[in-house]
Amino acid sequence: MKKSIIAILTFLFLASCAQQVSQKGKVVYLDELDRQKTLKEDQRNENAKIVEEYKKKQVILTQIEVEDKAEQKKLIKKQKDIAMKSAQLEKEIEEKIGFKSAEIIKENENVKELLAMDLSAEDLERRLVEESDLSPEDIKEVVETYKLQKMIASTQSEEELTKILQEKTELKDDEIKRIVAIKKQVLEKEKELRYETIKKIHDRLVRNRQLNIDRVFCAAASKLDELVLTPVFYPFDVHVIEKDASTRLFNDFDLIASELTKYPDMMLQLEGSCDYKGSNKYNKALGDRRWSGVLPLLTSLGYAQNYIRGISKGEECPVPKLESDDDEKWRARNRRTDFIWVLKN
């Protein structure tokens, strides 16, 4: 009797299992996984088509990369030409109004290094006091010349520049006219370069969308993006944009504002990044503050907020470390807000 009950229970269990298997579909045995599956003709054709399309896309991507690099080289060469013209302007100013300052700088390597850091006038003065052997009179001379050069560099109109030179210097009228003329040439070339670059960016974006080449999350800002709007950099654990950086952003954007109306399908993506110090969660929030802190500056210039979006990359997408980078320099290059042009969805 006991054996009969066991037999009945076993039968019911196996029947239940068979029913479950039949509900899920055909049973696959392990030895079948080792067998070579024969594809049907339509499956083989579909696979061949996918492989062929992939190969074509790889050829196109390689060709695009070569063309993009060639375009970048041309535009960067133009940028260098503009930099040479700007250097001519700086030399003119140095000869006319900053000769004494130039002599002081020439004799002090650490002062040269500080000037190359693009500090605010206040930070420059503080660090000269702390880190140089200059006298208070020499520090004042260097800082005043530095401030004047900053003012001249940030000036966008001939009238404003003329007024600054008349009020802040003892230059003669013909010397002022020469500096103003050089500055005008620099601005015209900068505007021309940015217009050309924006067109190149737009053409690329349209092309990439047609080819279904999406920009990945950690893709670095391109040289073209940086030619249009200079990235904003921050001191450690800071998200407030400094005065000089905001002035540069105002000036850069002012050069391109009217041109952007030609590209209503293009918008600006702000990307906040951080160095690796601190937790991932903290840096994600800091990256958000870095891009969102720039937003009011752009909207105050009349750029509609629906043409701007932002993301935080936190510490997740560091820029490549250069051979010349020590740890601090590398981290400083990661504390930034980038301005990336994208197409509207």
Cα 206 from Cα 204, distance rounded (Å): 5
Specify whether 141 is located in the same domain as 115.
yes
Statement to judge: residues 169 and 227 lie in one domain? no
In angstroms, how far is CA 8 from the centroid of its own chain?
74
| Structure confidence at residue 21 (pLDDT) | 45
Backbone angles phi, psi at 321, to 5 degrees: -85, 125
Look up the domain containing 184 and give its range: 77-214
- Together in a domain, 228 and 109: no
Let me know if residue 28 belongs to a domain: no
pLDDT digits (tens, 9 = 90+) for 73-127: 888 888 888 888 777 777 777 676 666 777 787 778 888 888 877 778 888 899 8
Per-residue confidence in pLDDT tens, the chain, 345 aa = 545 555 554 555 555 555 544 444 556 556 655 666 677 788 777 877 877 776 776 777 677 777 778 887 888 888 888 888 777 777 777 676 666 777 787 778 888 888 877 778 888 899 899 988 888 998 898 888 888 888 887 888 889 999 988 988 888 899 889 888 888 888 888 899 999 999 999 998 998 888 887 777 777 778 889 999 999 999 999 999 988 889 889 989 988 999 999 999 999 999 999 999 999 999 999 999 999 999 999 999 888 889 999 999 999 999 988 888 889 999 999 999 999 999 998
Q: DSSP for 110-123? A: HHHHHHTTT--HHH
Contact by Cβ (8 Å): 304, 266: no
Q: What CATH number does the domain containing 290 carry?
A: 3.30.1330.60
Q: What is the pLDDT of residue 10?
A: 54
Task: Tell whether 279 and 341 lie within a shared domain.
Answer: yes
Whole-number pLDDT of residue 23: 45
- For residue 277, the model assigns a pLDDT of 93
242 and 332 share one domain: yes
Tell me how far CA of residue 119 lies from CA of 68, 126, 229, 271, in angstroms.
34, 10, 19, 23
